[in-house]
Each structure stands twice: as C-alpha cells, then as structure tokens.
Amino acid sequence: MAMLLMAVPAYCANTAPWSDTFEWYSNAQSLDGNNGWIAGSSVVATNGTNYTASGSLCGYVPTQEAATNETTVASLSNVWVEIYAQVNLMGAGVSAPTPNSNVTAQFYFNSDGYPVVLNGSLTNWVTMTNTFAGSAVTPATTGTWTRISVFMNYSADTWGLFVNDQLIKDDIIFHTASDQYQKFVVENETYLDDFWINTLRPDGTTSNSAAALTSDTDGDGMGDDWELDYWGDANELGVSDADDDGRSNAEEYNADSHPRVADNTSQLIPYRDSFESATNGSRGASGGWHGITNSGDISVISSFYEGAKALALSNGTMNVTFTNDDGTNVWVQICTKPVISVSDTAPTPADDEVATFYVASGGVLRAYSGADYSNTWVTIPEGQWIAFGVHLDYNTEKWNLYVSTNGAFGDTMVRANLTDLDFNDAVTTPTSLTNVIIELAAETNMYIDVIAASYNYTNLLATHTNLLAYDRLVGALKDAAIPPYDYGSVYSITNTLGGQLGEDLMWGMGTNDELRVSYTNGWNIYSLEGGTNWQADGNSISSTNIFLSQGTGIQMKKLSGRDTVVFYPYAGAPVIASNIVIKGTDDVALKGWNYIVSPFSQVRTFNHASQGMMFTNVATAGDRIYLQESRMLVFYGSTKEWREGRNVATNQVAPGEAFWYYNKSGTNFIWSVAGE
C-alpha cells in the first residue's frame, strides 16, 4: 500500500524547489538522514527495479515502514508534489487507514488498483473509478510504474490528484485545514523515483518526469495542471482573458506566460480587439494593457464604432506590437474617428515604418509612397467613424489603402489609391509586420475602435478596387456571406463547399470549426476537418453536392483559436446570382421559411424602388421578414409595400446581414437580384 500525507511537522529540513532521483546514493544505502529523509534503516536506495526513464537507482519502502520528507515551501498558496511509484495495492477487505490529526491530503490504491482519496472528513474515503472528464480510470497494477502528481491549494484548502497525466479529481477538501505545505509520507511496500516538490506545475523539463501533464478535461486548450496552478481549479475558459492584457487564457498557456498578470506587451496575428472587455476610465500611459504601449493617455469610453466601447487617445501615440513573423501578405484594419489636421504639416515616417497615411487639412487622405506623400482621391468627413483597411505585401514591397466612410461595420470599403503604393524607401529589407502605430498630434481626442490584423488573403489584383471585412469570433455563431466572387455556374463544383467557394470560406477558420447552411432539406452542418476539408455531419448533404449562391443563408462558428477578421478584396460590384429560389409553404423541409443573406455590396432598404431589396414585385400579401434585431415586417399587397406595424418600413440591411423570409404562398418564387 502507498500512502501520501501532507502534514505540519515540528521542523523542516529542505527548501522547495526540491527533488530526489536517488542516483547519488549507493545501492542498499539508507535514506535516513540524507537529502531531508527521515526513515527506518530498512528504507534504502536500490537498483533492483528502478524507474528506467531516470538512471539506475530508486527508493524502496518495505512493508510496515515509512519514509518522510520535510520541505519548506516559500509560497503558501500553490504547491505541486510529484512522484513515480510502484504501488503495493491494499489487500481486499482491509479497512481504510485512519488519518492522524495533522493530515491535509491522503490517498491509497485499493485491491482493484483504483485510487481512493480522503475528501474532507475522517471517514469520507472516495474510490475514483472515473477521471474528472468522466472517462474510466486505468487501474494501477503491482510492478508497474505510476506517475502521481498532487496539487495543493492552500488558499482554498483543497487538493487535486493526477494519475499518469490524467486529472482524477480536483477540489478535494483538506482533511485538516492548513496554510503551508511541510511534509510528505510514503508507507508500506512501495518503490519510488523522481520525487519532486515545487510551487510550479510539472512541465516535463526537469529530470523528474518523462512528459508533461496532458489532461485537458474541459477541452479548452489549457492543461488541467496549468489551470490548477493559477486558479486552483480546472474549470477556467480558454477564450477568456483573466488579466485583460489582450491575450486569451489559452494563448497565455501556449506562451507559458502568467494568465492573471497583465504583463503582455506584444500580440499574435491573427489579432482582433474591439475593447469590449475593458472597463471604462483612463488607462494612463501604462504599457502591457491589451498589448498596447502609448506615450499619450488612453481612456475606455462608451462612444463606439462597433459593440459598446472604444478608446480615446489624447495627445500622443498608441502602439500595438506583434511578435509572430510568419506572413508576408498582411491585412490590417483600424476603425477610428480621425482628427483632421488644421495644417498641412505631414508626419515624417520613421526608418522602420513601411506604410504611413494621415488626414490633412480639408479632410484629404494622404498616403506615403516611396519617398513622399501623395493625395488619394478620398476626402474624410469630420466627426464620423471611418474604417481603414491596409494590405501590406512584403514580397513586392507594395501596399494598398482602403476606406469606408459610412460608419457601418462589415460594409464595403473602396481603394483610396489608384495605383499600388511603394513601401517607404528608408526601410531596409522589410520582412513582416511588427507594429501598428496610431499618432495624434492635436490636443483633442481621437477615438479608436476595432483593430485587426490577419494573413488570410494573398492574391491581391490591380482590379480589386473594393474590400469586404467580416468577423470570425471565437465561440460566436455568426451570420456569414458568400464571398463576392464569380464561381461560374450556380450548379458548378466551384459553387460548393467542396470547391473554390468552400476554400474561400475557410479563411479565418480552424480545425473542427463549423459552418451551417440553410438548404432545401433544412439546416446542414459541416466541420472543418484538419483545417482543409468541410466534412458533412449526420444527415447533412455532402459538401460537394450543396450548391450555394450569394443569397444563400449560412452561419459560421469558430470554436477555438483567436478572434480574427477576414478580408475579401474584389473587383467593383460583386457578381451575384440573378435568380434565387424562395421556397413556399409546400416545401416539406422549409415550409415557407427561407434563411437569406443580403448579396448586395451596399446597404439596402425594403421599399426603395431602385435601391431596395427587390422583393416588391414578387412578394404576396402576408409575406413576412424577420430581421436580426427581432423586428418583423409584413408585406401589404394592396399598396405593394413592407410595413412594421402600421408604419411604412424604413429598415436597412447591410451587406452580408442575414434575415428570415416567410413565403406565405404554397408555391416557390424567383427573387431576381441582378444589377448593382
């Protein structure tokens, strides 16, 4: 039987971090008095059955003997104890051991090889046949090495047990409350090796362990051991940002940085931040918050381009730094209310800034190309939210600037420069994006909202004078639009999820992310298998047999990774299907309900003769439209107009915005959307 106790002794011999691989002993040498061990003379080092991943010797505790190691741990909060052991299983019918009064955590292995833990009270022994995740525990067997890792949380008086890298149970209640770890005891016919005590989790880099703990019971991309280390439980969310520094908990896990200290001064691409998690008020000039460093003063405000919050920058610069450099075609989006210069003094680009633009007097947008500024054809209006899109090609050292001036996120942008712009001549061999800098020279505030950077699109053409930008947000089921390209015949393979259209919809998505299509048989669900193939789930139509057009309603759900924005540059007005079938109530699956995404590149209304949604001539009395903001429009046949209640509808639909159309009639009709 193996018994592990954490207790409060009279004195402590060692200081953590502490370890013992038993390699420095001689064979049959007593452990007592060496390296902090207190044991009987028969507790020895032996070369008879060592843990082969670590040298030639291990420790041996005979029957009716015990080995105690006493260690002082500076931290009073989180302590990890790890040991490899060949446990001697407790005999069948033998009663559980009686804990002494100063035990905090205790467990043993029963005759079937299952761990049995003491949860709180003196008699509350719990046999663990399932892991924390619900899968069956693999029983320990006599003569087999078992990796045992124990997490002690002295701030919560709880502990957690891992066996062979799997979390068995966390939040086990201390038998006796304590504020400090001091002793570990192993009893009765046990071989032990690679014994390790630390305030850090076992990570596979020390001599004590062959591999890192791998259990991730909630599937959020963070190891249970790491979550326990920082929070004391394994229930945190990978997509959350506990320290509000712009990197999610999962990204902090991958970077092995502290998830509860805002010490991050750099970001990773893809990147998207709309500052919705921030608290209103001044952030001063401190660095590290959301990866931003700044020389001016930044405040979080409730004046926004998207969502409910934005930033206000006062007299200075704001710098977002990126660390990864694995992309040579980079897209950047900045949404701002720019301050229009009262003079024509242009900012001087630094020698490492490849692309610079600013708003000159009169609202003229100017861009730097090669060695000087030139005017674009765009004039920026005062006091209005503007979306800027920048494409940087580090292969050709060219860049392009796009702008949207209608204040609607996701709306089309237009290219501001007539020909490609050159990178700054002063930059020597530029290779990748490292910084996005926003500078304010005036005393007044400049407002800033969504900032994004991604690598998704590389084949930018001279004819691509327009740009659409769409969110891919982790955990959110988002309406999506078909990319604005001509995929040929509606019934061509290129118009399926198995063709070019499906590939274009993969931008910003990752392995196992989902796409949902409302089709003639109802909803079809597809998972992105291996990040390269849309795999139909259940009874969904095969990805190569589902034909989509620009009006087809789809939804996308990004399950993991980083929030990002995908960019679709295109030539002029997008090519859209001229005829879209709107199913009537005779359709068995849809029963008159049609999920539609606006295929138009501009905002449309429902009643405008030439710039409306073009339903007026085909709709029948009683048809309904349900908008995303939970508003319903009804078609009045006598006046040929859509109404919300008794009022003529003035509602607008943005490009890519989805809505439901209910065709009350028993027959299908053709929605003709040709002509932009």
pLDDT score recorded for residue 560: 78
More confident call, 353 vs 274: 353
More confident call, 399 vs 188: 399
Is 644 within 8 Å of 651 (Cβ atoms)? yes
What's the CA gap between 292 and 274, in Å, rounded?
13
pLDDT score recorded for residue 409: 41
pLDDT at 575 over 90: no
Tokens of residue 675, six digits: 């002509």
pLDDT > 90 in the chain, percent: 20
pLDDT at 42 over 70: yes
Of 246-250, 400-404, 664-668, minimum mean pLDDT range: 246-250
pLDDT score recorded for residue 209: 42
Residue whose C-alpha is closest to residue 388's, from 460, 315, 467, 474: 467
Q: What is the mean pLDDT of residues 304-309?
A: 74
pLDDT score recorded for residue 12: 47
Q: Which residue has the tokens 């592990």?
A: 4
More confident call, 456 vs 632: 632
What's the CA gap between 463 and 403, in Å, rounded?
16
More confident call, 348 vs 49: 348
pLDDT at 79 over 50: yes
Which span out of 21-30, 254-263, 469-478 was modeled with the highest average pLDDT? 21-30
- pLDDT tens-digit series, residues 208-245: 444 567 778 777 888 888 888 788 788 888 878 887 77
Q: What is 256-295 written as a DSSP string?
A: T--TTS-----B-SSEEE--TTSPSEEEET-S-BTTEEES
Q: What is the mean pLDDT of residues 619-643?
A: 86
The ranges assigned to domains in the chain are: 5-227, 273-454, 466-570, 579-672
Domains 5-227 and 273-454 share a fold: yes
pLDDT score recorded for residue 276: 81
Strand, helix or coil at 326? Answer: coil
pLDDT at 592 over 70: yes
- pLDDT tens-digit series, residues 117-127: 999 877 789 99
pLDDT at 578 over 70: no
pLDDT at 632 over 80: yes
Q: What is the mean pLDDT of residues 309-314?
A: 83
Residue whose C-alpha is closest to residue 193's, from 79, 69, 87, 50: 50
Q: What is the mean pLDDT of residues 293-313?
A: 75
Residue whose C-alpha is closest to residue 216's, from 204, 207, 203, 225: 225
Residue 204's pLDDT band (cuts 50, 70, 90): very low
What's the CA gap between 151 and 172, in Å, rounded?
10
pLDDT at 407 over 60: no
Residue 399's pLDDT band (cuts 50, 70, 90): very high
∠ CA 655-658-663, rounded to 5°: 120
Q: Which residue has the tokens 């008020």?
A: 281
pLDDT score recorded for residue 181: 82
Of 135-149, 199-213, 235-249, minimum mean pLDDT range: 199-213
Write the burial class of residue 610 (CB in 10 Å: 0-12 exposed, 13-18 middle, 19+ buried): exposed
Other CB atoms within a 10 A radius of the CB of residue 127 amount to 12
Q: What is the mean pLDDT of residues 244-250?
A: 77
Of 42-46, 422-426, 506-510, 517-521, minimum mean pLDDT range: 517-521
pLDDT at 588 over 90: no
pLDDT score recorded for residue 305: 67
pLDDT score recorded for residue 331: 93
How many residues would you count in the chain? 676
Tokens of residue 373, six digits: 């500024």
More confident call, 489 vs 446: 446
Residue 376's pLDDT band (cuts 50, 70, 90): very high
Which span out of 202-206, 213-217, 617-621 was modeled with the highest average pLDDT? 617-621
Q: Which fold has domain 273-454?
A: Jelly Rolls (2.60.120)
Per-chain mean pLDDT for the chain = 82
pLDDT at 106 over 60: yes
Q: Which residue has the tokens 């949902």?
A: 516
pLDDT at 107 over 80: yes
What's the CA gap between 103 and 347, in Å, rounded?
68
pLDDT score recorded for residue 285: 54
Residue whose C-alpha is closest to residue 169's, from 219, 220, 130, 207: 130
Give the type of residue at 552.
Answer: T
Pairing of strands 78-86, 146-153: antiparallel
Q: What is 6-73 written as a DSSP string?
A: EE--S---EESSEEE-STTSPTT-B-TTSTTEEE-TT-EEESSS--TTS-S-EEEE-TT-EEEEEEE-
pLDDT score recorded for residue 6: 47
- pLDDT tens-digit series, residues 421-467: 999 999 988 888 888 888 886 656 788 888 999 987 677 888 888 88
pLDDT score recorded for residue 10: 38
pLDDT at 415 over 90: yes
Q: What is 5-227's CATH number?
A: 2.60.120.200
More confident call, 357 vs 74: 357
Half-sphere exposure of 211 (CA within 13 A, CB side): 10
Give Cα separations from 553 to 481, 486, 532, 595 (angstroms).
7, 17, 22, 5
Give Cα separations from 356 to 333, 370, 401 (angstroms).
14, 10, 10
